[in-house]
Structure 1
């Protein structure tokens, strides 16, 4: 009888790889980031950890055994969701592993823009001693968090350390700890005018694409700061640039963009009230171990017992 096959499309730390192998004795496990050399294994894999676009033709056209894919990212919008659903492949994401790192980035943006750190970094580079009209602080302000999953909840928790009023917006409208008032997407027009900081942690779906357009920016306070660590296409960048230029909002901290890398000709690069990071908000020294120990291993155990993983299972119809 042929051994069942798991392919891991990345080079894992040896300790983590051994922990996975211990959970599935007798399986053929191959871990490499060089997918060119494992076409045969990909065509036979029952489980694939870490999706890469390069493997798509093999998975969709050749593989008949695939049962489960575990992504290494929270977002799954780049995967061929419809085709995978038709193949009855269970998809699980890395939602939850980013809560600490991304919430830290959110507050780096908030503090950096509020306390003019972006202006002072430019001043340091040019040896300029300038006050930059510093006057704002985040204590006792209102933060609005769109998407109150693990990242949003951790952000809300930290916000309470700054005595902030916390508003949340989620599809279910279900209340949660550290959020003072919860809204639903149909209440966006009521939600936005209340916020001094608007933080997007949403996935990209048909419903969220282009959510932040000219109308949304007109609803925001002219003193408000937008933070987007969700997905770039949620924000209409042309509308954002116009809102920043017109003073409809005060600033933006952006980790994600409609096109990545952000094109050099984008006006966002030169705007003094914008802070940019290159889609690195989730980067952390603990990333792989959290995916493996918090998601992969519990899911392997469930898969072997019940035939299905249970942690972070993606709803194909919702897109997350």
Structure 2
């Protein structure tokens, strides 16, 4: 059996492969170091150029299963992919720890007024009486209660927060004080201190956080996006932040990445922007490897694969 591995993951995965597996490596430009006409399994890399991804797919007539290290797969569901009969599995779960920790970082940055404190330090100014908030008893609304949303809830409860969640079906989950259905989350916005976006990008969620939603939020509320930039109407968000509809935002993802230098989000003092790095961890490659090797064993023995994506739903 022949598989494709990205060059940056091959050194971690190859030592764990059965001896009868032949590996072809692919780089970030889609260059392959061997014949791929009979490749059955493809572990895709983190492509930023969709045309490269489609180019690789076109060279794989025998492909049956594709494993993505990403949790979100909207960028992989291209027309070229959707017209093929390929099983797609994602990396759901492997990013939950670092991303959920990052969400707590965003909340603490806002609650403890760290931006102002850093400015005081840079100015060599000792100021008493800086207003600081607590996370304890604050209300957190998590839109999307998958692996990442649940990991955020687990950590937020340790801080004594009131945790609400929105999911397709309003079924109870550990660490959530309230769960509502997909059409009810807007009614919770006026009571939320923090709103975290942790839902996949699909046609239904594109532009989900629009001007109407932002208007419903408290003026003291803080929006956090660690999912996909296009879930937020960016123009509406700039207006909301500029005019004080909400207190601020923590953005690890934006509509256009890298964020263009001229984008007004860079200059807003109530925005904390990070370069889509919340999932990074020294343990990431280890988790990617463990998931793929487990799924490979399942594939070879005819067992159900973990994290199979519903290509119509988009996650």
Q: Tell me the TM-score normalised to structure 1 length.
A: 0.91
SS at match of 2:183: helix
Deviation at 1:285, TM superposition (A): 0.4
In 2, distance between residues paired with 1:132 and 1:273? 20
Q: How is 1:62-211 mapped onto 2 (pairs within 5 angstroms)?
A: 62-130=59-127, 133-211=130-208
**Correspondence for 1:311:** 306
Q: What's the counterpart of residue 298 of structure 2? A: 302
Runs of 4+, deviation exceeding 4 Å: 34-37, 130-133
Aligned equivalent of 1:222, options 208, 219, 234: 219
Within the candidate set 3, 23, 28, 1:29 is matched to: 23
Paired residue total? 311
Give the root-mean-square deviation of aligned CA atoms: 1.9
Q: Distance in 1 between matches of 2:25 and 2:60?
A: 18
Indicate conservation of the 8 Å contact 1:119/1:272, yes or no.
no
* Candidates 225, 231, 234, aligned match of 1:234: 231
Gaps of 5+ in 2: none
Q: Closer, same or farther in 2 for the Cα pair 1:91/1:212, shift >3 Å?
A: same
Question: 1:144-188 deviations in whole A, cap 9, x for unaligned?
Answer: 011111111111111111111110001122210000110112112
Whole-angstrom distance in 1 between the partners of 2:205 and 2:314: 11
- Residue 263 of structure 1 corresponds to 260
**SS of equivalent to 1:289:** helix
Q: Which stretch of the first structure deviates more once superposed, 284-293 or 8-17?
A: 8-17
Distance apart, 1:33 and its partner CA: 2.9
2:2 and 2:21 in contact (8 A); partners too: yes
Q: 1:147 and 1:36, CA in 2 relative to 1: closer, same or farther beyond 3 A?
A: closer
Aligned partners of 2:7 and 2:170: how far apart in 1?
38
Report if aligned partners of 1:118, 1:275 keep a CA contact under 8 Å in 2.
no
Structure 1 residue 84 displacement after superposition: 2.3
Closer/same/farther in 2, CA of residues 105 and 132 from structure 1, 3 Å limit: farther
Alignment gaps of 5+ in structure 1: none
User: Alpha carbons of 1:135 and 1:63: their partners in 2 closer, same or farther (altered >3 Å)?
Assistant: closer
Task: Report what 1:6 is aligned to.
Answer: 3
Q: TM-score, normalised by structure 2?
A: 0.92
- Cα deviation, residue 191, structure 1: 1.8
What corresponds to 1:48 in structure 2?
Answer: 42
Q: For 1:37 and 1:246, how far apart are their aligned partners in 2?
A: 48
Verify: 1:57 aligned to 2:55, yes or no. Answer: yes
**1:278-297 paired onto structure 2 within 5 Å:** 278-293=275-290, 295-297=291-293
- The secondary structure found in structure 2 opposite 1:279 is coil
How far apart in 2 are the matches of 1:258 and 1:39? 34
Give the stretch that moved more between structures: 215-224 or 309-318: 309-318
Q: Which whole-Å CA distance do the structure 2 matches of 1:148 and 1:274 have between them?
A: 24
